Amino acid sequence: MPGIKTLCALAVILASSSPAHAASPFVDEFSVPGNKLDSRWTTEFGAPSFLGRTQLRDWVHQSDIGPFVVASGTSQLALDTFNPTGSSMYGTHGKTIASFQPTATTDYALTARMRVTSSRGGIVYGIYFYGCSSGSCATSHDELDIEIVTNHLQSVQLNRYAAEPLGAGHGPLVDLPQGFDPLAFHEWTIRWGSSRITYYVDGMELFSATDFIPQGPMQANIIAWAPDSGWADAYDGSLQPAASSGENQHFTALVDFVTVVPVTKAHFITPCRLIDTRNPDGPSGGPSLAPGGTRNVMVTGNCGIPAGTVALAVNVTVPQPAAQGYLTAFPGPSGATMPFVSTLNYKSGATRANNAIVATGEDGTINIYNGGSVPINFIVDVNAYFK
């Protein structure tokens, strides 16, 4: 999976609660320092703020008592052994106001770049989707988890629930890649589709499943907490609540960014010829393309490509040009700015072809530019569209 600089572009191009379901990317790089997250986040209050032997701090209303610190470009998922409001551990949690829900054509990818700063056992740092559409969450909820358990930092606990009660869930303990440094920054990703869940670390697939797939809307969450002995694999009896602030132990994971992006899926079609300029003049034929010229090609409605398509998987061919040059395919409309990259470099007398992913313009067109010194013919065949 990609990093923060390419993630939102990938959401557009790749085979990427009561609140309204989000349709656009959520991105937080924690660039504004302070004692709480911004207004796109909230946390749990009352009974839901207790889990294991941890109370989650109310940084929304009591940031002076239990802050959620944002500093130096990271948010700090903190666990303190002293709780100024009670006798438990004092954890940190944030969940997005917006909720997310995949469709038949769009997945959602939740990614957090996080660094655990201590190997102290008994702590869980989580990145997860969570939701319950109606009734009690204890009896029916949806959830997808990545749980970094400090008792075993060379493996990660993955889990999932689909309209199920709280409990053990369905998920393996997965070994992390050889040479994995548990105290370095890593990108953790959950890709949630309507028929498949896939988990990644640093772009490497850890696990994928096609059963127990949540279908309801869920919010994105990050958390630091200390389980009780009911989760034996994550519990450490030597980690205990402190009786005073002077005895407090403070543990953190630093979160560099959190993103939730819609990932458009590919729809494969029987290869279809969109245009061949060797044919008679017309929308899908000639004339040939003059040097320095650009041809605007209508995509929507051709080859079974529907409105709303955001990109194409194409094969572009230049047959036997008279001189060398290059061809660039880029989004419409006519007159759009051309990128300074080539899709295909062609050579005199040779037939050259190349595969490419080309974004479509809002008007449903793509542009083809001839960067050579002589007129050329070109062919565009479509293999799939992204919608």
The pLDDT of residue 214:
95
Residues near 45 by Cβ (< 8 Å), separated by ≥ 6?
58, 60, 61
**Do 67 and 94 have their domain in common?**
yes
Per the structure, the count of domains in the chain is 2
**Do 315 and 259 have their domain in common?**
no
Phi-psi region of 122 (alpha: psi -120 to 50; beta: other; left: phi over 0): left
Decide which of 264, 279, 302 is a domain's last residue: 264
**Do 144 and 112 have their domain in common?**
yes
**Do 102 and 143 have their domain in common?**
yes
The 10 Å Cβ neighbour count of residue 181 is 10
**Do 35 and 95 have their domain in common?**
yes
DSSP states along 189-216: EEEE-SS-EEEEETTEEEEEESSS---S
**Do 187 and 40 have their domain in common?**
yes
The pLDDT of residue 23:
54
Element (H, E) at 252: strand 250-264
Under DSSP, is residue 333 helix (H, G, I), strand (E, B) or coil? coil
CA angle 386, 111, 22 (to 5 degrees): 60
**Do 227 and 339 have their domain in common?**
no
Residue 323 and residue 281: Cα distance in Å, rounded? 23
**Do 239 and 122 have their domain in common?**
yes
**pTM metric for this prediction:** 0.72
CATH code of the domain in which 282 resides = 2.60.120
* Burial bucket for residue 276 (CB in 10 Å: 0-12, 13-18, 19+): middle
Domain that holds residue 316: 266-386
The pLDDT of residue 15:
33
**Do 232 and 299 have their domain in common?**
no
The pLDDT of residue 340:
86
The three state secondary structure string of 85-111 is CCCCEEEEEEEEEEEECCCCCEEEEEE
What Rg, from alpha-carbon coordinates, does the chain have?
26
Nearest CA to 268 out of 227, 314, 224 is that of 314
**Do 202 and 64 have their domain in common?**
yes
Decide which of 234, 264, 294 is a domain's last residue: 264
Q: Per-block average pLDDT, block size 10, for the chain (387 residues)?
A: 36 35 78 94 94 95 93 96 94 96 90 97 98 80 97 97 89 94 97 94 93 95 97 96 96 97 87 97 97 97 91 96 97 93 94 93 96 98 91
Decide which of 207, 234, 264 is a domain's last residue: 264
The pLDDT of residue 105:
78
**Do 179 and 249 have their domain in common?**
yes
**Do 21 and 133 have their domain in common?**
yes
CATH code of the domain in which 205 resides = 2.60.120.200
